[in-house]
A and B are shown apart, each in its own frame.
Chain A
Amino acid sequence: MKLNLLLILFIFFSKFSFAAEKTVDPNLIHKNLRCLVCQGQSISDSNSDFAQTIKLVVKDLIDEGKTEDEIYEFMSDKYGDWIVFKPQFNIQNSLLWILPYIALIFGGFFIFSFLKKRH
């Protein structure tokens, strides 16, 4: 009985995790890719020839089993980081990612010191 229960649980969870692994939402990827020939539109918003081609390629990459990050990496490799609305973390843009946190810490310290001084 215990064995059966364990088996059912195993099948249920393995199926669940398998489904979770496989789900890559193409619409989400289209929304995060910039249409290079349009004015401020994403691939998802655009009906341009370029957008149509990118949608086909994204579909192919998903079918090949590529993950969302791998697809962004592929597109950045071909068109530069500009094609991705949310750029990947790398040495060139590390400052962009880290600076808000530094500003937050400095700001917090500044406010704390200011309030402490007033009291």
Chain B
Amino acid sequence: MRKITKIIILFIFLFVIGIFYISLTRDTNYNTSSLVNKDTPEFKIISFDDENYFTRDDIKKNNYTLINFWASWCAPCRVEHPILMKLSKTKNLVILGINFKDKEPQAKTFLSELGNPYDLLAKDKNGKHSVKFGIYGIPESILINKELMIIQKFVGPLSVDDYNNIIKIIK
């Protein structure tokens, strides 16, 4: 009986230590692991000029597509813009820009000032489409392959490392 009691106490002790260890080392920040290697969700998003809609069929034609959520009011979007401009010159990659909760005149000024890296340009006026892609703040970018699988998701502004990473993938 004494032995069983000791084993139970040891088990409880190890359990409590284990729970503390897991809780303290666990990354509670949002991560993108739940979306990577998943299929691109169904979407039908209106183009920036209100003339047509973009769907999954539009990105099926491309070898790789980078969906970039941006807005003129978002300061980090300005930071990543030169990277997007560089990416726009690469082959094999189509960039779909989704203007997020923005005002049209400001968005147009943003693009005329910094350049337009987008092959396709859409808008998400109320942000509902962003939820389909698991977006919680902008800028965020999603790299999709021809099979419409999400290869990578970039939270925050694209860095030089991200640029190199994308180039390596799409080569």
Interface flags for A52-77 (1: CB within 8 Å of B; 0: not) read 11101100100000000000000011
Chain B residue numbers with a CB within 8 Å of A56 are: 126-128
Asked, given contacts A49-B101, A56-B128, A80-B34, whether A110 binds B5 with beta carbons under 8 Å apart, the answer is: yes
Chain B residue numbers with a CB within 8 Å of A50 are: 136-137
* Best-surrounded residue of B5, B12, B34, B126 (most CB of chain A within 10 A): B34
Give, as a whole number of angstroms, the nearest-CB distance from A54 to chain B: 7
**CB < 8 Å A-B pair total:** 50
Q: Are A113 and B28 touching (Cβ within 8 A)?
A: no
Q: Are A79 and B134 touching (Cβ within 8 A)?
A: yes
Taking chain B's interface residues, is the majority helix, strand, or loop, or is none over half, making it mixed?
loop
Chain B residue numbers with a CB within 8 Å of A49 are: 101, 127
Restricting to A69-114, which residues have a CB under 8 Å from any CB of B?
A: 76-80, 82, 99, 103, 106, 110, 113-114
Chain A residues within 8 Å of chain B by Cβ, number: 23
The verdict on B24 contacting chain A, using a C-beta distance below 8 Å, is: no
Taking chain A's interface residues, is the majority helix, strand, or loop, or is none over half, making it mixed?
helix
The verdict on A119 contacting chain B, using a C-beta distance below 8 Å, is: no
Q: What CA separation (Å) do A8 and B56 show in the bound complex?
A: 50
Residue among B4, B8, B127 making CB contact with A53, cutoff 8 Å = B127
Chain A residue numbers with a CB within 8 Å of B1 are: 113, 117
Q: Are A77 and B34 touching (Cβ within 8 A)?
A: yes
The verdict on B31 contacting chain A, using a C-beta distance below 8 Å, is: yes
Give, as a whole number of angstroms, the nearest-CB distance from A51 to chain B: 10
Q: Are B128 and A57 touching (Cβ within 8 A)?
A: yes
The verdict on A36 contacting chain B, using a C-beta distance below 8 Å, is: yes
Interface flags for A21-58 (1: CB within 8 Å of B; 0: not) read 00000000000000011000000000001101110110
Chain B residue numbers with a CB within 8 Å of A57 are: 128, 131
Q: Are B132 and A78 touching (Cβ within 8 A)?
A: yes
Of the A-B pairs whose beta carbons lie under 8 Å apart in the complex, a sample of 29, sorted by A's number, is A36-B136, A37-B136, A49-B101, A49-B127, A50-B136, A52-B127, A53-B126, A53-B128, A53-B130, A53-B131, A54-B131, A56-B126, A56-B128, A57-B128, A60-B128, A76-B34, A77-B34, A78-B35, A78-B134, A79-B34, A80-B30, A80-B31, A82-B30, A103-B12, A106-B8, A106-B11, A110-B8, A113-B1, A114-B5
Q: What are the 8 A-B residue pairs with the smallest beta carbon separation, nearest first?
A: A53-B127, A78-B134, A80-B34, A57-B131, A36-B136, A36-B30, A50-B136, A79-B134
